[in-house]
Structure 1
Amino acid sequence: MTRDQLYNIAEDWFEQQDWKPFPFQKNTWKAFLQGKNGLLNAPTGSGKTYALWFPIVLSYIKKNPDYRTKHKKGLKAIWITPLRALSQEIKQSAERVTADLGTQMTVGIRTGDTTTNERARQKRNMPDLLITTPESLQLLLATKGYDKIFKDCMAVVVDEWHELLGTKRGVQMELGLSRLKTIAKELRIWGISATIGNLEQAREVLLGPFSQALENSVLIKAKLNKKITVRSIIPREMETFPWRGHLGIRLLEDVVPIINNSKTTLLFTNTRSQCEIWFQKILEKHPEFAGELAMHHGSINKETRLWVEQAIRNESLRAVVCTSSLDLGVDFAPVETVVQIGGPKGIARFLQRAGRSGHRPGKESVIYFLPTHAIELIEASALQKAVKENAVEDRIPYLNSFDVLLQYLTTLAISDGFYPHEIFHEIRQTFCYQAITEDQWQWLLNFLVMGSQSLQSYDEYKKVEIEEGGKFKVNNRGVAMRHRFQIGTIVGDANLTVRYQKGGYIGTIEEYFISKLNPGDVFTFAGRNLEFIRIKEMQVHVRNSNKKTNKVPSWMGGRLTLSAQMSELLRNELYTVSQEGKKQSVEIKSLAHIFKRQRQESIVPKPDEFLIESFKTRDGYHYIFYPFEGRFVHEAMGSLLGYRISLLSPITFSLAFNDYGFELLSDKAFDVQQVIDNDLFTTDYMLDDLEKSLNSTEMARRKFRDIAVISGLVFTGYPNKGVKMKHLQSSSQLLFNVFRDYEDDNLLFQQAFRETFEHQLEEGRLRISLERIETQQIVWKQCENPTPFSFPLITDRMSREKLSSEKLADRIKRMAALLAKR
């Protein structure tokens, strides 16, 4: 069958659906059928799935002309999705194509939700098209004889590649692909990515920087003019002294008409606890929404999540309060409107969420921005600009993640074993390990066999044996079983399942939240008020309660930080306030009274100015700095500056920070002019000073816990018999201390420090910020009172410290009223 005949099959199918294929879909079919690899960049809801399922099926038809009557069994293509929730959707698209084109191809799913029976069936007889996750792919590589499973595989599609890039799951994917390229001789690798800035680099990471796959590849961009409309919900009344979180719930009544005027609305919150609170408050104020309002986040049980997703498709729900659990790929045609509650902190995340509405080619996406405090309206204005300019963040890939590599090598050793020289060649082709040295490789191999220098006396760390011929192999069944349970790179706090006493499963909750509860305490979870009874075998037993409560679970990793691109846009929007003749957005104009008061007390900085404010309250001497660079950078910069000031004269500070600035609070005064005169914002000796200023050893110790789990140094326990987080923490701390004292050249120990600086403290961004401040004029304003800019920072610190037993909200209201009076 010629290529033109194959294209006709696809075009005829589109015509039968009353659709017309987009040029990007046709270009993808053509490139795939020519044997090329590639990265497809297309917005959410534009038909990306059909751009790649079609050429995979057409390729099979071309190879098997009698495909209607004869069928050759075996795995032909793998579709990788980062979220299990998307598998069903992708399967339906694949089945539609294979059935309508008259093939006998089978489609299967293999994720953490797949039953044991289904897995056994797949082992005997693999489906032709397999939809799976990065972790489940690694589990297949841990199967004896995996090369036979993959040898005829002609395609791997990595969906939502932008979500995996810049994470250790992405590294896991790079390693998996490096192995598949060797086994499957005709393999084509394709990535699908929506919103991402560094597309060329994304393709390089996916295919390998020096590989033939990269040489024989294309980058296809869908030039679709997707109209995105951003509407800010501007409060009718705003305090002159804004504070975090306060405004959000007050705007609830502005959200109700939006819900009533739309078929279906998704309300996105940034954290699961915020999601729980909004769901409760809407039902409390508007009981008429009962049965038409639902909640969706990653800790709610799978059945409920699937029910919610189906109910959106059936149009039986008016609104869903959700988190990033609904960010990706799920195709919800009925969703007309999206509301973003609070700053999304990143442009890509915002566009992704906007794309959930009008999820059809050519349809307009409408997203409302609801600020949780007044200054977030500057973020709203910046997002409007980002949408106009198509500005999107880069995703920074990981380098030398030795913990992931050790896990991968153990995976290969428990299946068929591996020969080091073969695997070394493969991993050198990946982006993450392109610079790995022979010495580092040798260290990793020794680690697998002996458990590193300082652990040689302990047999439990000796996992791999070297067989005759130099093959590395795991022969101990216990080691193999424990390893399979622990494959993966997502390490969180220990999750406990929440169940009714009589057995009904509700969801999962993190151990550290439950550890603070006493029997009889009531908390809100999954939209219900639950009374805590006991913990038994990693299960939290609860019963329904009618008592009111304000206890809402919080999950680790709850707070996001502004991305570099978002910070820059935010600063530029803020500068329009003080630049004459600059056109101002509606959002900036609505904050005029705040800027007016800010100018009375201090200044609104211009592009060439860096603002420092100082004032005294009953809490002490406050020094506030405004880099507008995001909370992670501010945490590092605040620590660095506090340390450098203490070298000038002995002084102790407590540090508070948000996305706009940071506060150094002390019980004694110091002269800010010294900071300016002594050039304390210099990048000279930055790393040394950072190490001394932050308790970098403590931060690295926390980071090491994850590294120890991923590399297999620490075992997290069997299903339903997990190891308590504090035990994990103490085991990993013990190892950390051993390496620090006896083996500080240990690669995993060094990795903990490297990741702390590169990923947690964003050392690169910190350096750029300091360089920018060095070019600006530093303006120090000695204020009488807190300013509107400083108020969110002060109140944020108070809410964390819980300074007094009186209700915090009342105390903040009184402070704001007093300042307004003055």
Structure 2
Amino acid sequence: MHDTPAEAWFAARGWTPFAFQREVWQAMAEGRSGLLHATTGAGKTYAVGLGAVLRGPREAAQAPPLGLMWITPMRALAADTQRALAAPLADLAPAWTLGLRSGDTPGAERARQDRRLPTALVTTPESATLLLTKADARQLLRGVHTVVVDEWHEMVGNKRGVQVQLLLARLQAWNPKLVVWGLSATLGNLEAAMAMLLGTRARRPAPRLVRGRIDKTLVIDTLLPTQPGRFSWGGHLGAQMQQPVADEIARTAAEGGSTLVFTNVRSQAEAWYQLLLSARPEWAGEIALHHGSLDKAVREWVEAGLKAGTLKAVVATSSLDLGVDFLPVSRVLQIGSAKGVARLLQRAGRSGHQPGRPSRVTLVPTNTLELIEAVAVRRAVAAGRVEPRQAPEQPLDVLVQHLVTVALGGGFDADALYDELRRAWSYRALPREAFQWALDFVVRGGDSLGAYPEYHRVVLRDGVYRVEDRGIALRHRLQVGTIVGESSMLVKWFSSAGMGGTLGQIEEGFIARLNKGDCFVFAGRVLEYVRTQDMVAFVKKSSGKRGVVPSWQGGKMPLSSELADATLAVLAGCAEPGALDRATDPELQAARPMLQAQARLSRLPTPGTLLLEQYRSREGHHLFIYPFAGRFVHLGLASLLGWRLARARPNTFSISINDYGFELLSADAVDITGLLDHSLLAGDEADDALLHDVLASLNSSELALRRFREIARVAGLVFTGYPGAPKSTRQLQASSGLFYEVFRKYDPGNRLLGQADAEVLAQELDIAHLAASLARMRAQRIEAVTLAAPSPFALALMVERFREQLSTEKLADRLARMVAESEAVLDAAAVSAPASGPAPRRRRRTGPASAA
């Protein structure tokens, strides 16, 4: 006998439920909400899915109304979830209907759903929010008894997560007994993440946090370069790893498995796809490319090939990060740094995506420092140090959009909606005056748009706020959501006979830089640009073999604090006498020449020391500093310290950054006394002087304008165009820029301006992390080194700057000279003083300011 229908359903398939699955079924039967945190591929979908099915009426003669809403962050994942739920629904609730609603849903299916929604609906945050805009939304959605939010870790830290919070608050107002469950695989702050999902409303019975602990083997190893060298820089090892990566794919295929090759950005994916094809031309048609800019049909073909096991490998970005089930995938290769522990775990889980099967991720370093990172991330995973995520606080652009959404969906009473909003975590402390400002903004356009009727989006009739203008309603529905990217252009084949097939989308700014006849790499092909017409870039196949790889906005993500700290800890261990001789990690042995070169020419950074390197070249005076705080914070730190140094003594600085440190290059010598005594490192997050200095050191108005462009779109100030007639980036930027200037001049108290400034500080500059980094730097012992030649760490920063200035050929020549110079200094030092390192150089060490 089996105690529950869920266990009986498992038994009929020869399966035995895990303890965490039984725990979820019991909690949901008791009417509890909660968060399930379990390893990717452990069976989370069946844990919550069966619990949700058993909560609804299963013996109905006809299909019950919508009762289960399953929200996923990706369209591909939505389709996969629909397939996973179909089997238990057919057996346990045959009367139920199951549907999918996303941006890819055909018009005919949408029309059927508009006549009658399915009993269980798999959807995305944007499509679910669109249901709230229906005039009869309350009648359609008040029967929803269970909401499942899949991959909550992917949404909790951004505005899509806030959009989900607001949706849940609305549904809970209509059904106080609503049960909500989040699914997660990679979160470091589980209790807080559950609170962010469930909101502030007291729940009885109490919610449940379920940790799905199962025995699943995770293998993290590294594909070692044969010649890592004593000097390395971004991308230095890429070409050297081409053949080893191809060999690993071939080996996995021979064992009957497929390989996912993950890169961090689309341009890198395009480049590696070409590298693999050039290494193995016979693989054409057996390996594929997958990223978000490719046409839907291309992506679906790739996903089907992965599922069927007909593809040896797929080179992908985060477009395949999430929980799509590809059973044939037995191996994951990560090209370059994963930048975070959670991201690596997420990608590793794409292999062995089934209980009992091991997951294996192999790191492929593109520079020698990533060998150190490989050791660091493996140790962080073993220690369970995963990045936490925090929800945005009171984003007013999302609130403004939500007010119009709810006004469309039957209207609202202001007092009742204010109380409802405060049940969503991000708005738990929303002041009434901020709510009133947002309400005034959608009713009369605020203080500066009152003369324009199109911004009087909501009207008050008989105590209820509604949208009455059909044009306003249509425009709002067309751009519901918080995903804001650069305007894209379709890429289509040029055909003299008419319009050709679609290859995908590419950012308008990239196409705008091309001339007729220019070649570029896209969708795994070398294409020749023909012309642009009606926001479509027409191309033809190029006869050449080389082309420019497109760059996409947001292409560089920062190293997480957890991984940066773990990397510093590894370096600290390497700095101990004899440590490299005792090291057992193969990555450290491979990186040994570079680590020894860094130690001889300079010092190895450690958690307790802040390394400063100075070097004089024909370019000028170089100052290298290594806080290990990630590229975003380093941009803020470099700008701040450059500004403070120039304020003390007039100077002009060029800046270069990477995840480990930054370079300040100046024509005049730099007095580092203020760094040695820590006076230039002053400031904490609550310090107005720090805020002033940071904003003064950067073009903060341009950063704020860029943020405001996104805010203006989410808040509905800027309309992106009707289907088939999108507005260009130039039009959108001009429109948002006009609003920005009008508000600055005539409505300086506009809260959307304040939000833009706040987002610059919180996201662009990461002011909290910057202040924390300054505090840590003040507590560290300063090690100042004057270099006789660029150290390995310094050379990597110099290359970052050269890439912006030099052609590939000139860069290669410059690098060859610099490496030769550093190698000569190392060799000379080894001859003159092999036991003690290079000739003495000036070093200054100072302790923290409190100890001075």
Query: What CA deviation, in whole Å up to 9, does each residue of 1:72-101 have, x standing for no partner?
Result: 431010000000001221111211001123
Does residue 608 (structure 1) correspond to residue 608 (structure 2)? The answer is yes
Q: Which moved more, 1:720-729 or 1:163-172?
A: 720-729
Q: Which residue of 1 aligns with 2:489?
A: 496
Does residue 261 (structure 1) correspond to residue 251 (structure 2)? The answer is yes
Q: Which residue of 2 aligns with 1:41?
A: 37
Correspondences of 1:794-809 after superposition (within 5 Å): 794-802=798-806, 806-809=809-812
The structural deviation recorded for 1:450 is 1.2
Is residue 627–residue 769 contact of structure 1 (8 Å, CA) maintained in 2?
yes
Q: Secondary structure at the match of 1:321?
A: strand
Is residue 672–residue 780 contact of structure 1 (8 Å, CA) maintained in 2?
no
The structural deviation recorded for 1:562 is 0.8
Q: Which residue of 2 aligns with 1:87?
A: 78
Q: Secondary structure at the match of 1:169?
A: helix
Is residue 107–residue 128 contact of structure 1 (8 Å, CA) maintained in 2?
yes
Q: Which residue of 2 aligns with 1:650?
A: 650
- Separation of aligned partners in 2, 1:480 and 1:94: 34
Does residue 791 (structure 1) correspond to residue 784 (structure 2)? The answer is no
Correspondences of 1:162-561 after superposition (within 5 Å): 162-208=153-199, 210-213=200-203, 216-262=206-252, 263-468=257-462, 470-501=463-494, 502-561=499-558
- Separation of aligned partners in 1, 2:26 and 2:447: 53
- Separation of aligned partners in 2, 1:46 and 1:765: 34
Does residue 715 (structure 1) correspond to residue 719 (structure 2)? The answer is yes
- Separation of aligned partners in 1, 2:299 and 2:339: 25
Q: Which residue of 2 aligns with 1:695?
A: 699
Q: Among residues 806, 818, 824, which one is paired with 1:821 in the alignment?
A: 824
Q: Secondary structure at the match of 2:4?
A: helix
Q: Among residues 148, 151, 163, which one is paired with 1:157 in the alignment?
A: 148
Is residue 579–residue 606 contact of structure 1 (8 Å, CA) maintained in 2?
no
The structural deviation recorded for 1:799 is 0.5
Q: Which moved more, 1:505-514 or 1:181-190?
A: 181-190
Q: Secondary structure at the match of 1:455?
A: coil
- Separation of aligned partners in 1, 2:682 and 2:413: 49
Is residue 645–residue 675 contact of structure 1 (8 Å, CA) maintained in 2?
no
Q: Which moved more, 1:296-305 or 1:808-817?
A: 808-817
- Separation of aligned partners in 2, 1:627 and 1:264: 39
Correspondences of 1:744-763 after superposition (within 5 Å): 744-763=748-767
Does residue 78 (structure 1) correspond to residue 74 (structure 2)? The answer is no
Q: Which moved more, 1:539-548 or 1:167-176?
A: 539-548
Identity %: 43
- Separation of aligned partners in 1, 2:635 and 2:224: 30
Q: Among residues 95, 119, 123, which one is paired with 2:114 in the alignment?
A: 123
Q: Give 5+ residue unaligned stretches, structure 1.
A: none
Paired amino acid for 2:576: Q
Q: Secondary structure at the match of 2:306?
A: helix
Does residue 32 (structure 1) correspond to residue 48 (structure 2)? The answer is no
Mark the CA change 1:635 to 1:514 in structure 2 (over 3 Å): closer, same or farther: same
Q: Which residue of 1 aligns with 2:88?
A: 97
Q: Secondary structure at the match of 1:457?
A: coil
- Separation of aligned partners in 2, 1:550 and 1:72: 55
TM-score if structure 1 supplies the norm length? 0.96
- Separation of aligned partners in 1, 2:500 and 2:547: 25
- Separation of aligned partners in 2, 1:353 and 1:141: 34
Is residue 228–residue 387 contact of structure 1 (8 Å, CA) maintained in 2?
no
Query: What CA deviation, in whole Å up to 9, does each residue of 1:259-289 have, x standing for no partner?
Result: 1121111110111011011111111121121
The structural deviation recorded for 1:600 is 2.3
- Separation of aligned partners in 2, 1:666 and 1:112: 51
Query: What CA deviation, in whole Å up to 9, does each residue of 1:93-139 have, x standing for no partner?
Result: 21100112362211000000011111111011111100000000111
Q: Which moved more, 1:386-395 or 1:132-141?
A: 386-395
Paired amino acid for 1:30: Q
The structural deviation recorded for 1:215 is 6.3
TM-score if structure 2 supplies the norm length? 0.93
- Separation of aligned partners in 1, 2:440 and 2:157: 28
The structural deviation recorded for 1:788 is 0.8
- Separation of aligned partners in 1, 2:812 and 2:82: 49
Is residue 151–residue 185 contact of structure 1 (8 Å, CA) maintained in 2?
no
The structural deviation recorded for 1:680 is 0.6
Q: Which moved more, 1:741-750 or 1:706-715?
A: 741-750
Q: Secondary structure at the match of 2:643?
A: helix
Query: What CA deviation, in whole Å up to 9, does each residue of 1:472-513 have, x standing for no partner?
Result: 111111111111111111111101111112321111111011
Correspondences of 1:583-594 after superposition (within 5 Å): 584=583, 585-594=585-594
Q: Which residue of 1 aligns with 2:775?
A: 771
- Separation of aligned partners in 1, 2:204 and 2:524: 48
Q: Which residue of 1 aligns with 2:102?
A: 111
Q: Secondary structure at the match of 1:660?
A: coil
- Separation of aligned partners in 2, 1:116 and 1:347: 40
Q: Which residue of 2 aligns with 1:578?
A: 575
- Separation of aligned partners in 2, 1:212 and 1:103: 35
The structural deviation recorded for 1:364 is 1.2
Q: Which residue of 1 aligns with 2:828?
A: none
Q: Which residue of 2 aligns with 1:672?
A: 672
Q: Give 5+ residue unaligned stretches, structure 2.
A: 826-852
Paired amino acid for 2:573: T
Q: Secondary structure at the match of 1:212?
A: coil
Paired amino acid for 2:76: A
Q: Which residue of 2 aligns with 1:11?
A: 7
Q: Which moved more, 1:708-717 or 1:451-460?
A: 451-460
Paired amino acid for 2:12: Q
Q: How many residues align?
A: 810
**What is the RMSD computed on CA atoms of the aligned residues?**
1.6
